[in-house]
Amino acid sequence: MERLEARVIEIRGKCPVFKPGDRIVIEGPEIKLDETDAICTHAFASLLPYIVALRKGIKPGELGLGRGEKAYVQCLDPGPPYTDGGTVIFEITVVRDEGEKSLESGEGGNR
């Protein structure tokens, strides 16, 4: 099953929820709470439109979110001088399950 990891790579301004390095892990339709450091409604609203597309193999460049295999999205909060908060920049990586890789290459046996 496809997994996404959205890692905080930068915070501009102040964020009361995230710190650099925090991550949100999504597997299928589930947020893996035991592997997720924090979650914020503002940030998740920014990530949500791209989660399914990236999991289904659409490249970040096709979505206008990056030039390679990683996508970049930022939180909705614009930060100063407009708000007292700050925007968080996420680097999103698609992580393929090793079991699924071997099934696709024919090494995983019959299903």
Computed on alpha carbons and rounded to an integer, the radius of gyration of the chain in Å comes to: 16
Q: What is the mean pLDDT of residues 72-95?
A: 93
Would you list the domain boundaries of the chain? Answer: 3-98
pLDDT one-digit tens code per residue, 47-83: 999 998 999 889 999 999 998 899 999 999 998 899 9
The helix/strand/coil state of 62 is helix
Q: What is the pLDDT of residues 6-53, one digit of tens each?
A: 999 999 999 999 999 999 999 999 999 999 999 999 999 999 999 989
d(CA 77, CA 89): 11
Q: How many CB atoms lie within 10 A of CB 75?
A: 26
- Cis preceding-peptide flag for 81 (omega within 30 of 0): yes
Cα–Cα distance measured from residue 92 to residue 26, given in angstroms and rounded to the nearest whole number: 10
Predicted model pTM: 0.82
Listed residue (93, 83, 92, 74) closest to 11, CA to CA: 74
pLDDT at residue number 109: 47
Cα(63)–Cα(104) distance, integer angstroms: 25
Please tell me what DSSP assigns to residue 43. Answer: H
Q: Is the pLDDT of residue 100 over 60?
A: no
Is the model more confident about 63 or about 111?
Answer: 63
How much is the pLDDT for 104?
Answer: 47
